[in-house]
Amino acid sequence: MNATVANPATVPTLSAREVEVLRSWLICDSKEATARTLFISGATVSTHITRIRDKYDAVGRPAATKASLLARALQDGLIGVDEL
């Protein structure tokens, strides 16, 4: 996969767990399905997603919807189209 990654200065620093939750949530149908897959609560999934959104906001790349988070993850090379 030859993805073009966004400018590194505008890519938020996500923890490994945040990336894992984000990737799972983008692939799964819901936060509840993600929670079951990762053996965590739905509230924990929501907390991770909120923190991820806050980090994108902090670097000037807001992502208020699941679709916009998917776009950011694709732009930043966190997930590939073939994984969806």
Domain that holds residue 57: 8-79
In tens, the pLDDT along 14-55 reads 999 999 999 999 999 899 999 999 999 999 999 999 999 999
**56: domain CATH number?**
1.10.10.10
84 in a domain, yes or no? Answer: no
pTM listed for this prediction: 0.88
In tens, the pLDDT along 51-75 reads 999 999 999 999 999 999 999 999 9
1 in a domain, yes or no? Answer: no
Q: How many domains does the chain have?
A: 1
φ and ψ at residue 78, rounded to 5 degrees: -80, -20
16 in a domain, yes or no? Answer: yes
